[in-house]
Structure 1
Amino acid sequence: MSAGMKRFRAHLRELYHGQSAHAVRFRFAVIVVDLALIAFFIATPTIRATAFFLTVDYLVALLLAVDLAARCLAWGSFRSWIRRPIVWVDFFVLLTLLAPQWLFSLAFLRVLRLWTLFHSDFFWQTFGRRFNNTRIEEAARAAATLLTFIFIVTGFVYTSFAGMGVGVDSYLAALYFTVATLTTTGFGDIVLPGDWGMIISIVTMITGITLFVRLAQAIFRPHKVRFDCPRCGLARHEPDAVHCKACGLLLNIPNAES
Structure 2
Amino acid sequence: MDKPLSRRPSARPQPSVRHAKWRETLRALYVGDEPRAERFQWAVGTVDLAIIVFFIFAPVLEGRPSFLWIDYSIAVLLAVDLSARALAARSFRAWILRPTVWVDFVVLATLLAPLTFANLGFLRILRLWTLSKNDLFWRSLRRRGYREWEDVGRASINLLTCLFLITGFIYTFFAEDGSGLEGYVDALYFTVATVTTTGFGDITLPGTAGKLTAIVTMIVGISLFVRLAQALFKPYKVFFPCPKCALQRHEPDAVHCKACGHILAIPDEGAD
Same-fold status (TM-score > 0.5): yes
- Is the alpha carbon distance of 1:10 and 1:149 closer, same or farther for their aligned partners in structure 2, counting shifts above 3 Å? same
Give 2:95's aligned amino acid: W
- Per-residue CA deviation, residues 146-187 of structure 1 (Å, 9 max, x unaligned), is 000000111011001112312111101110111111111111
Mapped to 2, the partners of 1:74 and 1:61 lie a distance apart of 20
TM-score (norm 2): 0.86
- Is the alpha carbon distance of 1:4 and 1:140 closer, same or farther for their aligned partners in structure 2, counting shifts above 3 Å? same
Mapped to 2, the partners of 1:68 and 1:256 lie a distance apart of 38
- Among the aligned pairs, what percent are the same residue? 57
Give the Å deviation of 1:231.
4.8
Give the Å deviation of 1:89.
1.4
Mapped to 1, the partners of 2:41 and 2:158 lie a distance apart of 22
2:231 aligns with 218
Runs of 4+ in 1 over 4 A off after TM superposition: 225-233, 251-256
Question: Structure 1: any 5+ residue segments left out of the alignment?
Answer: none
CA contact (8 A) 1:117 1:123 kept: no
* Aligned pair partner of 1:80 in 94, 103, 106: 94
TM-score (norm 1): 0.90
Rg comparison, structure with higher value:
2
1:109 and 2:123 correspond: yes
1:6 aligns with 20
Give 1:159's aligned amino acid: T
| Equivalent residues in 2 for 1:126-137, closer than 5 Å | 127-130=140-143, 134-137=147-150
Mapped to 2, the partners of 1:124 and 1:97 lie a distance apart of 29
Mapped to 2, the partners of 1:253 and 1:85 lie a distance apart of 35
Give 2:216's aligned amino acid: V
| Equivalent residues in 2 for 1:148-167, closer than 5 Å | 148-167=161-180
- Is the alpha carbon distance of 1:228 and 1:95 closer, same or farther for their aligned partners in structure 2, counting shifts above 3 Å? farther
Mapped to 1, the partners of 2:250 and 2:87 lie a distance apart of 35
What SS does the corresponding residue of 1:166 show, helix, strand or coil? coil
Give the Å deviation of 1:14.
1.9
Mapped to 1, the partners of 2:99 and 2:236 lie a distance apart of 26
Give 1:35's aligned amino acid: L
1:190 aligns with 203
| Equivalent residues in 2 for 1:82-101, closer than 5 Å | 82-101=96-115
Mapped to 1, the partners of 2:239 and 2:162 lie a distance apart of 25
- Per-residue CA deviation, residues 44-90 of structure 1 (Å, 9 max, x unaligned), is 11112222222211111110111111122223221222222222211
CA contact (8 A) 2:145 2:270 kept: no
CA contact (8 A) 1:135 1:223 kept: yes
Give 2:50's aligned amino acid: A
Mapped to 2, the partners of 1:252 and 1:188 lie a distance apart of 56
Mapped to 2, the partners of 1:83 and 1:107 lie a distance apart of 23
CA contact (8 A) 2:141 2:147 kept: no
Question: Structure 2: any 5+ residue segments left out of the alignment?
Answer: 1-14
Mapped to 1, the partners of 2:99 and 2:50 lie a distance apart of 22
| Number of positions where the alignment pairs a residue of Structure 1 with one of Structure 2 | 257
